Structure 1
Amino acid sequence: MSVEPGWYVDPADRDTRRYWDGEGWLGAPIPVDATPPEGPPPPEPAPVAAPAPVAAPAPVAVPAAPPHAGAPVSGPHPGQPGGYPGHGGPYPGPPVGQSGPAGPYPSGPGPHPVRPVGGPGQPSVPPPGWPYPTWPARPPEPRPHGLPLASYGARLAARLIDVGMLVLLNTAINGWFIWRFFVEWSAPWQEYWRRVSTGDLSNEPLPPPGEQFGGLLLAVLLIATALWFAYEVPSMAARGQTFGKRLMGVRALPVEADQPLGFGRATRRWSTLGMPTLFWACCGFGLLLQFLDAVSALFDQPLRQALHDKRAQTVVVQLSGARPESGTTPRDRANPPGDTP
């Protein structure tokens, strides 16, 4: 929007008036309470050239520092906020979107691009009066290899299914050792239950368990750990999935590439969660370690990695129904699965 030529209060000095010719300020200012003349001011006489001084040795030239990119320009600046008579917006300036002394002007309502201030390596800040740019909403969740992260509920359900499968395996293979272990433990347990039922407050020690109690406990824990290793590690190394993960449609992948885990990485991943089984007999210390590992994914951002994921550098993703298995169908590198609807 252009402004008609005329005398207006100088925004740089409210005690003076200057003539606006439609494109810029013209002539010298006059006092604000003085009656302005009709039309533009007379042209100022050209300055009389002074006689040339006697030549003297020229001093060494020092390059002047460049003006600060964010410093305000002296005098009236078309982009500065202010007003002119009869209007509430900014006074005349270059059209919106064109470049001014400090860079391009905003072409619409904010947020506007940040103008660099200072030299290279210095932070960029917006000009005075402009709001700092902020993220319009919460950052998007990462999609490793074009796939969404598996929810904690899906991971927990898959783990419970795997625990059920391990219980069945231990019942079939480790069942005799478990039964013998409870037989050896029956004497102190029955005496303890008798005292609780009858209200006996005797301080006499409980009878010791059988002689084979310690050996049976070690055998039960070793067999249970070996069954867990045999159940989980080979399938995770080849496909990144156990039986529970396949039912829940989740898969473990390396962070750096969409490929099988391999035996070494699958072993490192399992050992952080499975090896503490050997410490169950140490006042439940092994169970405490496994519980901390299981809940650690709740507090990890942004990849929701549990402690065993961090050790093996893996991430658990949710598979889509149309996604082909890796290594069986060539993938289009230009359109990886999960990036397109």
Structure 2
Amino acid sequence: MHPDPQRQPGPPAAHPSAAPGYIPTQQWHGGPPPNPWAVPPAPVTPGGQPLAGFGDRLIAYVIDSLIVGLAGFVLACPIMIFAVILPLTRIDEEGRLGAGTIVLFLVGYAALFVLQFALSYLYFVEYQLRTGQTAGKRVMSLRVQPIRPDQALDRRILGRRYLVQHVAGGFVPFFAWLDGLWQLWDKPLAQTLHDKAAETVVAKVVQ
């Protein structure tokens, strides 16, 4: 039976499940249907290891801060005694401090300042250089790694991290907060500002 040459083709049939106002956006061409509830894959480093989460990094930072702070307190006690407490006993009857006592005060405070930065350098650079881990990172199974998988972690890289995290963070108001929180919105590697300066990432060590 030949088709009627005068019959015009009608509009295409509507999608069987289309509701009023339905506009098809894409066609499914076979294979397993997409799952809208699927959990997206966890972010990984360029070397394929899972990235450390914000919570893990925060706990590791708190542990490290307690260790450095406790060590600094123990070492600072003799300085506090000889450069701060003992000079207070030299106040004269009029409540004045001599020039030598004031100089001793200033030297003591400067020594405390240098001691704190020296301890943090030894801990976060020299100690971390061995394995890419501090004590806090080891507890939380984290490790600092260069972004490039073929690059080794060295003193220069950790030195840049130290300068941004501890030196800039110690002198610039609110910078330490911005530095630590930056990883929350940084994509795709969840880097802090000191990670970006040193071109590093923090990976979760898979046991």
For 2:71 and 2:166, locate their aligned partners in 1 and report how far apart those are by CA, in whole Å.
15
Residue from 23, 29, 38 that aligns with 2:6: 29
Structure 1 residue 260, shift from structure 2 partner: 3.5
1:160 aligns with 2:46: no
Deviation at 1:182, TM superposition (A): 5.3
Please name the residue that 1:143 is paired with. Answer: 44
Find the partner of 1:290 among 162, 170, 176. 176
- What is the TM-score normalised by the length of structure 2? 0.72
Q: Residue 84 of structure 2 contacts residue 108 of structure 2 at CA under 8 Å; is this kept in 1?
A: no
Cα distance, 1:264–1:111 mapped onto 2, change above 3 Å: same
CA contact 2:79–2:112 (8 Å) conserved in 1: yes
**What RMSD over aligned residues (CA atoms) do the two structures have, in Å?**
3.6
Name the residue aligned to 2:23.
none
Cα distance in 1, alignment partners of residues 53 and 190 from structure 2: 9
When residues 244 and 293 of structure 1 are mapped into structure 2, their CA distance, relative to the original with a 3 A threshold, is same
Q: Once the two structures are aligned, what percentage of the paired residues are identical?
A: 31
Equivalences, count: 184
The alpha carbon displacement at 1:174 in A equals: 2.5
User: Which amino acid letter does the alignment assign opposite residue 149 of structure 2?
Assistant: A
Q: Say whether residues 1:307 and 2:199 are aligned partners.
A: no
Deviation at residue 259 of structure 1 after TM alignment: 5.1
Alignment deviations for residues 63-97 of structure 1 (CA, whole Å, 9 cap, x no partner): xxxxxxxxxxxx85xxx9525xxxx789xxxxxxx
Q: Distance in 2 between the 1:277 and 1:266 partners?
A: 15
Read off the aligned partner of 2:196 and give its amino acid letter: K
Q: Which has the higher helix share?
A: 2
After superposition, the C-alpha distances for 1:122-158 in whole angstroms (9 at most, x for unaligned) are xxxxxxxxxxxx9956753431122111111111111
Q: Residue type of the partner of 1:300?
A: D
The answer to whether residue 21 in structure 2 is matched with residue 82 in structure 1 is no
Q: Quote the residue 2:110 is aligned against.
A: 218
Q: 1:306 to 1:233 in 2, by over 3 A?
A: same
Deviations 1:257-285 (A, max 9, x none): 16541111111111111214763xxxxx4
SS in 2 for 1:296: helix
What is residue 92 of structure 2 aligned with on the other side? none
Match of 2:129 among 228, 231, 237: 237
Cα distance in 1 between the residues matched to 2:190 and 2:151:
19
Separation (CA, whole Å) in 2 of partners of 1:238 and 1:224: 21
- In structure 2, relative to structure 1, the CA distance for the partners of 1:141 and 1:6 (3 Å cut) is same
1:159, distance to aligned residue in structure 2 (A): 0.9
Cα distance in 1 between the residues matched to 2:196 and 2:59: 21
- The residue type paired with residue 44 of structure 2 is R
- Residue 119 of structure 2 is aligned to residue 227 of structure 1: yes
Residue 236 and residue 259 in structure 1: after superposition, are their counterparts in 2 closer, same or farther (change >3 A)? farther
Amino acid at match of 2:120: W
| Matched AA of 2:28 | P
Deviations 1:226-275 (A, max 9, x none): 11101120233231111111111001111111654111111111111121
Q: State which of 21, 24, 27 in structure 2 corresponds to 1:110.
A: 27
- TM-score, length basis structure 1: 0.46
One-letter code aligned to 1:158: A
- Report how far residue 295 of structure 1 moved: 1.9
Aligned to 1:169: 71
Change beyond 3 A, Cα 1:296–1:277:
closer
Kept in 2, the 8 Å contact 1:239–1:260? The answer is no
Q: 1:152 to 1:89 in 2, by over 3 A?
A: closer
- Could you tell me which residue of structure 2 aligns to residue 274 of structure 1? 166
Q: Distance in 2 between matches of 1:221 and 1:241?
A: 25
Gaps of 5+ in 2: 17-25, 90-95
Which structure 2 residues correspond to residues 251-266 of structure 1 after superposition, within 5 A?
Answer: 251-257=143-149, 260-266=152-158
Q: For 2:42 and 2:58, how far apart are their aligned partners in 1? A: 20
